[in-house]
């Protein structure tokens, strides 16, 4: 049998012991030591590392066998291994976090089928390689989930359909409802931390970033410890500020965007405008799902859904509730970076939803199968956050819509004043209602992108080549003064009107942003 040494600095971690291939010898053998560095190989006296699965800034993970189980049960052994030279205080804090992970997982892993069980937690103290000091290592033994994480799955299958993403959301929201009810935040949700086993069930993995939330004032236990994944973490987490259940919801929404589009987060987040620009990469997504994802991705924690239960309720509602009118207890400071908005207004953790998916393979959202028995008493849930009926517009969409509105306004003005003989209250009223309808259609995204070009082109053709101008001497005189044919003159007037509206809209946006910073 080959056993892998877990000492990080071991020059040759592979060790071969042919006699351990005998089951009887394996179960009764005394401790074995690395032939290269002298490190203990049988961790905790029973776990045999056989393969390095991976390593990161806070540790390494090994595939291992439990020699005291009947079938040499496969498990995962995680070794605490902080990167860099940490000062004693930081090292103690990291060790406490690792130990806390073991305590939390021991509780929640046994109660929820989609969270890996925790089998053991123990330290190992050995002499250093130079023999001058004692090295201490910490190990956490967890259930091994045989399958692929969603990052691996997407690598060979491509983008997910909306139905597949809804399945992932239902499964993960059910898990989040459970752990949030236990006052636990995951804080590192991403595709590689969601595993699908051979039977199709999804699991939430890598609770190395897990943190319990307590209500004790001044303890700081609800603040971020700097463990997160770039692109998935919301602003408050990246700033090391207070974190909430909505922090996990933000990361889940970012995960869903990656699955829907097949693109990394840095291609979906517009750092210049500090907003997510993902809709053009997933044009087939329904407005309901898109609006819910946008709400989950709001940079301000209080403006997101406050619990997984609220997200599930938003999916079950045909229409969105009006926005809550209550003001926060403390306004967040202004943004200083693309992911740099902080809120100090904590939100209560809510109870799990009455029904969520508990197994893989289902596409319905939500299902009627609970993942666990409901608690006997649950704290009150805050009102669900609103699902936006429109969406966040990029700068280009905003200016394009302004240009379209100005152009159409010119075409409508020419047509109405020509048909009615002159500018009068009737034509002004009709013009106002028409423009209002166009603006509302853009806001609801009933018309967008190429629709604007097509509608504008058809309007220009109707006004320029159908004899509308015969009843409008003013327009005819203006075009004749420019020395242009009618169809070119009408186009010029429309473009000029569009440019004027773009200038006005740009000025308005600038003034609005300045006032927002001041107020």
Kindly list the catalytic residues: 188
CA 116 to centroid of chain Cα atoms: 22
CB 447 within 8 A of CB 437: no
Query: Number of H helices and number of E strands within the chain?
Result: 14, 14
DSSP state of 56: E
Neighbours of 2 (CB within 10 A): 13
Provide φ and ψ at 23, rounded to 5°. Answer: -55, -40
Phi (first) and psi of residue 486, to 5 degrees: -55, -45
CB proximity list for 403: less than 8 A, separation 6 or greater? 498, 499, 501, 502
How is 337-371 classified by DSSP, letter by letter? STT--------PPPPPPS----STT---SS-S--S
The end-to-end CA distance of the chain, in Å, is 69
Q: Are 373 and 333 in contact (CB under 8 A)?
A: no
Going by DSSP bridges, is the β-strand pair 211-212/74-80 parallel, antiparallel, or unpaired? unpaired
With contact defined as beta carbons under 8 Å apart, do 452 and 402 qualify? no
**3-state class of 516 per DSSP?**
helix
Closest CA to 356 of 172, 227, 502: 172
Closest-CA residue to 209 (of 386, 56, 342)? 56
DSSP string, 439-483: HHHHHTTSS-THHHHHHHHHHHHHHHHTT-GGG-HHHHHHHHHHT
SS3 184: strand
Q: How far apart are CA 284 and CA 204, in angstroms?
A: 27
């Amino acid at each position: 049998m080959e056993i892998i040494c877990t000492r990080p600095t071991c020059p040759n971690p592979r060790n071969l012991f042919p006699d351990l291939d005998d089951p009887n010898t394996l179960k009764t053998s005394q401790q074995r030591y690395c032939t290269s560095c002298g490190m203990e190989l049988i961790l905790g006296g029973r776990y045999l590392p056989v393969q390095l699965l991976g390593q990161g800034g806070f540790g390494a993970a090994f595939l291992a066998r439990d020699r005291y189980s009947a079938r040499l049960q496969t498990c995962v052994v995680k070794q605490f291994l902080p990167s860099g030279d940490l000062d004693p205080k930081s090292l103690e804090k990291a060790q406490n976090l690792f130990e806390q992970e073991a305590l939390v997982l021991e509780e929640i892993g046994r109660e929820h089928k989609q969270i890996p069980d925790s089998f053991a937690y123990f330290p190992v103290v050995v002499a250093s390689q130079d023999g001058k000091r004692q090295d201490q290592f910490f190990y956490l033994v967890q259930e091994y989930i045989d399958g692929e994480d969603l990052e691996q799955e997407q690598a060979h299958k491509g983008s997910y359909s909306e139905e597949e993403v809804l399945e992932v959301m239902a499964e993960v929201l059910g898990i989040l409802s459970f752990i949030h009810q236990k006052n636990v935040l995951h804080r590192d949700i991403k595709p590689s931390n969601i595993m699908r086993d051979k039977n199709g069930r999804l699991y939430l993995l890598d609770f190395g970033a897990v943190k319990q939330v307590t209500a004790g004032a001044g303890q700081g236990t609800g603040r971020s410890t700097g463990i997160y994944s770039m692109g998935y973490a919301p602003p408050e987490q990246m700033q090391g500020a207070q974190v909430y259940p909505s922090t996990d919801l933000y990361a889940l929404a970012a995960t869903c965007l990656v699955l829907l589009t097949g693109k990394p987060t840095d291609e979906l987040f517009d750092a210049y405008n500090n907003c997510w620009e993902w809709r053009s990469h997933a044009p087939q997504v329904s407005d309901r799902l898109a609006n819910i994802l946008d709400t989950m991705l709001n940079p301000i924690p209080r403006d997101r859904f406050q619990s997984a239960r609220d997200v599930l309720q938003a999916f079950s509602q045909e229409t969105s509730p009006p926005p809550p009118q209550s003001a926060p207890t403390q306004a967040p400071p202004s943004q200083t970076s693309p992911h740099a908005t902080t809120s100090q207004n904590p939100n209560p953790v809510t109870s799990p939803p009455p029904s969520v998916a508990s197994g893989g393979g289902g596409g319905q959202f939500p299902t009627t199968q609970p993942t666990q028995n409901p608690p006997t008493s649950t704290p009150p849930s805050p009102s669900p956050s609103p699902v936006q009926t429109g969406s966040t517009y990029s700068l280009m969409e905003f200016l394009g819509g302004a240009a379209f509105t100005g152009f159409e306004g010119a075409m409508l003005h020419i047509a109405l004043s020509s048909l009615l003989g002159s500018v009068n209250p009737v034509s002004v009223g009709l013009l106002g209602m028409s423009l209002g309808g166009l603006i509302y259609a853009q806001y609801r995204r009933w018309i967008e992108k190429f629709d604007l070009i097509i509608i504008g082109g058809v309007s220009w053709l109707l006004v320029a080549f159908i004899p509308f101008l015969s009843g409008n001497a003013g327009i005819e005189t203006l075009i004749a003064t420019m020395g242009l044919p009618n169809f070119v003159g009408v186009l010029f007037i429309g473009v000029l009107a569009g440019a004027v509206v773009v200038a006005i809209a740009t000025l308005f946006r600038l003034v609005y942003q300045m006032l927002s910073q001041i107020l």
